[in-house]
Amino acid sequence: MKIIYEADKIRYFDNNGHEIHENDIVDADGSMQRVYETENGELGTDATNPKWIKSGRAVPCEYGIYPFEEQMNVKLIKFKIVEAD
């Protein structure tokens, strides 16, 4: 992962050079996760236990966001949308 700090924002790129944005789906260290943006403009993944979210015990990002770090192995996952007939 590469992180570029610009004057007004932070830009994130996966290991293949694809830019990552909020709401993208990434493979982050072996698991498929949605990308969230923190209040200070950092991108990362949900710190809340997914089992708690599924059971209704918590909501996404209730326990914060783990910000991305350069040493992380992150790959953007691209989906092809196909319309049903």
Locus of tokens 């059971």:
55
How far, rounded to the nearest angstrom, does the alpha carbon of residue 48 sit from its chain's CA centroid? Answer: 13
Closest of 31, 38, 30, 47 to residue 12, by C-alpha = 38
pLDDT of residue 81: 60
Task: Give pLDDT, residue 31.
Answer: 84
For residue 82, the model assigns a pLDDT of 63
- Report pLDDT for 64: 94
Q: Which two tokens stand for residue 73?
A: 């192995």
The whole-number pLDDT of residue 30 equals 81
Is 51:63 a contact under the CB 8 Å cutoff?
Answer: no
CB 48 within 8 A of CB 60: yes
Positions in the chain short of pLDDT 50: none
